[in-house]
Homo-oligomer: A and B are copies of this chain.
């Protein structure tokens, strides 16, 4: 039985430890601002080991995105499919299914303060072809699923308006995932973007009202 070094979460492979550390450092400093040295330090491994497992910084980033995205989007797909199993769900349920897996898996406040959700906000808004290629691979398919779902629950919605509605909904969700603290500042402490349930309680009706306005107009 080989000796096992002390590690933040015992039983975790060093590859996963590196990916976890990458998530935290990329979230805190951005892609360019994150240093391989800092990730290695956070993971408790030598810098050379990261290059052994992931070759380059860019490939490390991609591996980190792939791991968490697959996790989140499998859950999202299952939720939407489940909603249509017994008749046609309400629009509200679709919108909730859009966000809940991301905030529960990626935000995961207890573990890392929402590291992956922050990364998502940054690179989903990037026009860099490298970032958009990642979005296309990992998020466009599930986006098409949601766009189709929107059209099923709101039959008056045209396909192009469903695409716009999806983009706008994601934009609203960004304000929750970015967790900038601005709502608290603007409201004198009343609105807290760290309280995910309170935000969902306002985000869901806001988006549903927006979608239905596109149907009517």
Contact = CB atoms under 8 A, between A and B. Distances in A.
Contacts of A56: none
Nearest to A177: B125
A15 interface: no
A66 B160 CA distance: 37
A163 B199 CA distance: 12
Interface stretch (A45-53, A103-111, A180-188): A180-188
Nearest to A203: B168
B206 A168 contact: yes
Interface in A8-34: 29-33
Number of copies: 2
Interface stretch (A57-65, A79-87, A208-216): A208-216
A178 interface: yes
Given A125-B121, A160-B191, A207 B210 contact: yes
A15 B179 CA distance: 35
Contact of A174 (B171, B202, B213): B171
Contacts of A140: 182, 185-186
B180 A175 contact: no
A162 to B, nearest CB: 9
B180 A132 contact: yes
Nearest to A180: B127
Which residue, A126, A167, A185, A217, has most C-beta atoms of chain B within 10 A?
Answer: A167
Contacts of A207: 210
Contact of A213 (B118, B205, B216): B205
Interface string A129-163: 00010011000100110010000000000011101
23 contacts: A30-B30, A30-B31, A121-B125, A122-B125, A124-B180, A127-B178, A132-B182, A135-B180, A144-B186, A160-B187, A163-B191, A164-B202, A165-B206, A167-B191, A171-B171, A171-B172, A171-B173, A171-B174, A205-B217, A206-B210, A209-B209, A209-B211, A212-B213
The 10 closest A-B pairs by CB, nearest first: A209-B213, A32-B32, A206-B210, A171-B175, A32-B33, A210-B210, A163-B187, A125-B178, A171-B171, A209-B209
